[in-house]
A and B are shown apart, each in its own frame.
Chain A
Amino acid sequence: MATACDSPSTGFESLLRQDEEKDLLRLSTAGSVDDGKSTLIGRLLYDSKGAYEDQIASARKASVNQTAGPLDFALLTDGLRSEREQGITIDVAYRYFSTPKRKFIIADTPGHEQYTRNMATGASTADLAIILVDARSGVLPQSRRHLYIATLLGIRHIVVTVNKMDLVDYSEEVFEQVRLDFLGFAGQLIIGELKFIPISALQGDNVVKPGTRMPWYSGPSLLDYLETVSVSRDRAFEHMRFPVQYVIRPNLDFRGFAGQLASGSVRPGDPVMVLPSGRTSRVKSIATYDGDLAVALPPMSVTLCLEDEVDVSRGDMLVPPQHPPHVARRFEAMLVWMNQKPLDAGRPYLLKHSTQQAGAQVAAVRYRVNINTLEHESVERLGFNEIGAVVVETKRPLYFDAYDENRLTGAFILIDPLTNETLAAGMIKGGIAGETQRSEEWLAVEFSTSRVTPAERYVRAGHRPFAIWLVGGEDLAYGLERKLFDRGCLVHVLRGEDAAGVAQAFTDAGLISICRVAGDDRRARDSVERAVGSDRFVVVNAATLPEDPEPAADEICRSLEQRGYIRPQPKPFTGGAGI
């Protein structure tokens, strides 16, 4: 069998190893045919190849024949037949190029037709946006639209390339004017970094190499900037979110939950909570084809195995018990409407969010955004290529973060259940005051045939149900009961023979039971743990606590709070897309 048999190491081999280690930058471009966008992209695609040739040549200490004759760069990016006939791009096209420093994916979107739908699509996966402005015409309404959509879709790095500088005599004044006009508008939006570069795509000034004709500009060329800009801080949402895609169960000994880590990191031993059931366990291992991992980082696709046999299926999400996402069936979102048929409030739609689908409807349209002026307009519904703020209701609770904080757990699409078309893209701003709950309050799984779900019991009680195995004196047991009761918990100290049966009944009923024992009888403890489930069972030994029951009970409460069993002081909801 032929495999990649390596020849002895040469200058090229180490260069190759280095090249395999480079990272990836996804960007979107927007501009119209007249802005020279195709010429710019064509030049990036073509000239970047020269970088490899130079590098190889210097590694080999040889010269290469550079054949950069006069080329119509726009032809390199020309697309489908129907477009060629019309001479315009009508859909998002993906382009690829590499330099020895980075690989780039460009989502190239058209400037005119259906710009909203296409720009939103291209921007959804991009970390950086290039907005092209023709130096002769300055900032146009479409430049402002591009900027708004890029920021709405969560892009934090915007590069405004002021193109065709050759046609304005490479004038610094013209460039400055465009910059000031742009800044005036951009002030209303949330942007991480806004960069201006004067270029001539046709002549090549400041695209790949710095131009000599604009001595007044001392910044980097466009490619220099793209090669060095850091985007890793943009997605710094630190809490683990692991939407489960698929359960891998090849035999009785292996049960793993496959998915792509959306945020945070995960290590063996980490405590996790399963949404929506609220059951908890620990990560036993991170299984991959290349061996078990000590840590997984986003966006790795891995398979997690848990310590306990908890029920997990596709659509569930694994999260840290201390830092769960929001859970709600009603939330506010920004919606980009992408279908000829307008949004119909009250019509049943299908909503896809992370790895789950749920029936949904739009309960209200709050306003439409005029994307030229950013003004909010009062409307009944949204039409094709319109953007607005809406209230969405789902049949099942979603577990989400605000899109501003976490793109992957804050985004959704709406699908027409009849035609199967994708109708809209949504970005969750946040829950609605008073209606959002932290996820520990929403346990939707039904464990029995009871018509009352654990979730509802949970909402009523205001805390998770569990049993405390308390090895210690009566003073401590009743002191703890008093403290929990004062915090609003439903709690009772158990005495007598059948602790296991009673604790199980109490736990199923949504209550907290304290099993007070003088000595730690291992068999009795195991039977209670089995009865209530290990994620609803807490062992406390008074020997490890202060002797005085008062501070001892306080310490137990603190620990329960930290482990997510009882609610900490309520936190106000702070999410919101802010645009």
Chain B
Amino acid sequence: MSSRAAADSAAASAVVVRDLVKRFGSVTAVDGVSFSVAESSVTALLGPNGAGKTTLIRVLTGYLLPDSGSVRVAGVDVLADPLEARRRIGYLPENNPLPLELPVDDFLRFAAGARGLRGAAARDAVHRVVERVGLAEVWRKPIGACSKGYRQRVGLAQALLGEPELLFLDEPTNGLDPLQVVEMRKLVRELGSEHTVLLTSHVLPEVAALAERALLVHRGRLVADQDLVAAEDAEATLEGLFLDLMREEVAAS
């Protein structure tokens, strides 16, 4: 690919990651990862627990700095202009750390303020995301008094404030009951038509149901890149990939 063509493809990509390395002491959590993600798509980072998915997402959001490599989101270099990058990212961290003592609306009002929204604009924005994710019922309740399913929606609501182009969702259905999982998946699928969604999961059927593309992460490396739209049976395809991986593990040991 010529450099011109490379630049063009980078412009059409919502996320471009190049040669990313992140070490914690002697442990290499992310080991030379490169990929790009197309606009308005749902892409999943799939891998066993401890594969490096969360670290990868944390570097992409700017929460952690990489040891080397580069990250561009919506055309903005996360390292060079972190503030502008964060403006374009909505992030639902793993375990969804919310202030439990705060009522849902107070928290969302705060999140709107942090994104520079004031007065009527903030109220409208909060109202929109509350409608969008279905929080009207628990609107005045302290977050701590809400069910896990509602809390996850609060986490999603704050990520949607300020209409970021990108949504990074780390294990969005983790810890939810089956009904809540179904509802959350429906929401994520809908959001995928308006935003570029990058989510992480270790659940094969979930990735098969939600994502158009799966990036298989193992030991900090990207070991497979699977188009799920073209695949006849997405889940079976992913299962095949996973089993191959396990077989290699066993063979290697």
On whether the two chains bind one another, the answer is no
Residues of B within 8 A of A (CB): none
